[in-house]
């Protein structure tokens, strides 16, 4: 018996539950009630409102990523320069919230903004509040890859840079920062793409008054008290998948430190 036989159950599973479900997006985009029809597909594609919401979501995701990077880089940098035992402990503290149910954390912010300190919401406005909670949810995902990359930088390189006459700022700009680019790229990927598709945060923080692209898709499929409109939802998802694919390809272009296996995605 050859060992590759052991992969067969998984291959069947993969075809049934990874490959075929993906095809359903295309199937339902052009199939209304069993008939092949393209009208809903074109109607959704030419709906200017949807594109406005998509653009708005991309901008929000961009802002979220930028703020996470600005807040997270110093954290990772400080941690990477600490003694290993101390840094190990404090970094765990930063990653614990990541493992806590994120709907519950988002709900906590909803309650804080609604009942406990409503001043925050009046100060930041609706969009600002959504942005703050998005940053809150994704910050650990930015810190983690940054911390991993920064703590792996060989400290003798920094000493070499000092010995060759560079001061602290120059060493940082010309040694640390370039070496941490793989961490920055994977941090951006880990924040930007989930942020485009976020629908929980706007749904809870915005109380249904604030829509991002994820909410459009969610509403298409899960309209309260009505059967979902699969054609619209599928078309919106195709647009989303293409945007995500494009941004992943752009990221991968910058990331030369690719992991094993797939260079395809």
Partner 1 sequence: MVKKAFKPFKYVYLGLMLLFLYIPIIYLIVFSFNDFTFGRRVSYANLGVWNGFSLSNYKNLFVGEAGNALLLTLEIAAISSVLATVIGTAAAIGIYAMKKRSRNLILNVSQLPMVNPDLVTGITFMMLFAFVNGLLVRMGLAQIGDITKLVIAHVSFSIPYVIFSVMPRLRQSSDLLYEAAMDLGCSPMQALLKVVIPDIMPGITSGFIMALTMSLDDFVISYFVSDLKSVLSVYIFSCARGARGVNPALATVIFIPLVTLLLIVNLRRLAKEREYEIQSKKVKMKDKGGNIK
Site for partner 1, residues 109 to 168, rule: CB under 8 A: 109-112, 114-116, 136, 139-140, 168
The answer to whether residue 3 forms part of the interface with partner 1 (CB under 8 A) is yes
Kindly report the number of other CB atoms within 10 A of residue 65's CB atom. Answer: 24
**Per-residue contact flags (x/-) with partner 1 for residues 177 to 216, judged by CB under 8 A:** ----------------xx-xx-xx--xx---x-----x--
The answer to whether residue 11 forms part of the interface with partner 1 (CB under 8 A) is yes
Which of these ranges, 35-43, 52-60, 122-130, 217-225, lies near partner 1 under the rule CB under 8 A? 217-225
The token duo for 200 is 């929980």
Residue of the chain from 33, 48, 49, 92 that contacts partner 1 (CB under 8 A) = 92
The answer to whether residue 68 forms part of the interface with partner 1 (CB under 8 A) is no
Residue 72: HSE in the Cβ half-sphere, 13 Å Cα cutoff: 31
Window 15 to 44, contacts with partner 1 (CB under 8 A)? 17-22, 24-25, 27-28
The answer to whether residue 10 forms part of the interface with partner 1 (CB under 8 A) is yes
Please identify, using beta-carbon distances, which residue of 148 and 200 lies nearer to partner 1. Answer: 200
Helices (H), the chain: 8-14, 20-29, 39-45, 48-80, 84-99, 102-111, 118-152, 155-163, 168-171, 177-179, 181-197, 200-205, 213-221, 230-254
The answer to whether residue 62 forms part of the interface with partner 1 (CB under 8 A) is no
Question: 100 in helix, strand or coil?
Answer: coil
What single DSSP character describes residue 35?
E
């Amino acid at each position: 018996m050859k060992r590759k036989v052991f992969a067969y159950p998984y291959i069947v599973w993969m075809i049934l539950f990874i490959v075929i479900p993906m095809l359903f997006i295309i199937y339902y985009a052009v199939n209304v009630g069993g008939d092949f029809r393209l009208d809903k597909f074109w109607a959704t594609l030419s709906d200017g409102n949807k594109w406005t919401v998509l653009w708005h979501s991309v901008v929000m995701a961009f802002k979220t990523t930028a703020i996470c990077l600005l807040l997270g880089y110093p954290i990772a940098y400080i941690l990477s320069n600490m003694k290993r035992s101390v840094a190990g402990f404090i970094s765990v503290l930063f990653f614990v919230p990541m493992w806590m149910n994120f709907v519950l954390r988002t709900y906590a912010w909803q309650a804080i903004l609604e009942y406990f300190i409503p001043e925050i919401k009046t100060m930041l406005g609706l969009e600002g509040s959504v942005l703050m909670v998005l940053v809150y949810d994704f910050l650990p995902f930015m810190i983690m890859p940054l911390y991993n990359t920064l703590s792996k930088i060989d400290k003798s390189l920094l000493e070499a840079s000092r010995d060759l006459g560079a001061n602290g700022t120059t060493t940082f700009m010309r040694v640390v920062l370039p070496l941490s680019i793989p961490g920055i790229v994977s941090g951006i990927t880990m924040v930007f793409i989930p942020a485009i598709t976020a629908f929980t945060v706007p749904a809870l923080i915005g109380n249904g008054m604030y829509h991002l692209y994820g909410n459009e898709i969610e509403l298409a499929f899960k309209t309260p008290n009505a059967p979902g409109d699969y054609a619209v939802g599928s078309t919106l998802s195709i647009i989303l998948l293409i945007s995500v694919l494009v941004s992943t390809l752009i990221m991968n272009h910058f990331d030369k430190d690719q992991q094993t296996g797939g260079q395809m995605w």
